[in-house]
């Protein structure tokens, strides 16, 4: 439970820091005298702080949780569960011929 709380705290700090930096820079730009084009370009680039802060969740979960990392690898087919001889996967294929349905099983 403590590890989960630490992970959520890290995510909150990264997220808040990203948005805080964005807002602070935008407030500073609006209060100083700079040309419109410079203010526009700075406001475009400063938005990346918030985007990176929001995008760090995956990396934090992946590094802090072995279960999350394992499930993500399984979804990407990079991590295959080992099977023994008795636990071979079975696929069932239904075929229609002569208006009757027969089931064929194939072992891999």
Per-residue pLDDT of the chain (108 residues; tens, 9 = 90+): 888 889 899 999 999 999 999 999 999 998 998 888 998 999 889 989 889 888 888 888 888 888 888 888 888 776 555 555 555 555 555 555 555 555 555 555
Q: What is the pLDDT of residue 81?
A: 58
User: What DSSP state is assigned to residue 107?
Assistant: E
Q: Tell me if residue 78 falls in helix, strand or coil.
A: coil
Residues in the chain: 108
Predicted local distance difference test score (pLDDT) of residue 87? 56
Tokens of 104: 């064929």
């Amino acid at each position: 439970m403590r590890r989960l709380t630490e992970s959520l705290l890290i995510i909150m700090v990264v997220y808040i820091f990203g948005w805080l930096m964005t807002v602070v820079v935008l407030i500073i730009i609006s209060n100083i005298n700079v040309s419109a084009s410079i203010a526009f370009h700075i406001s475009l680039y400063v938005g990346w702080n918030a985007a990176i802060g929001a995008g760090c969740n995956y990396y934090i979960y992946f590094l802090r949780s072995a279960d999350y990392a394992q499930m993500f690898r399984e979804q990407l087919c990079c991590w295959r569960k080992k099977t023994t001889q008795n636990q071979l996967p079975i696929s069932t294929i239904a075929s229609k011929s002569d208006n009757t349905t027969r089931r064929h099983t194939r072992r891999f």
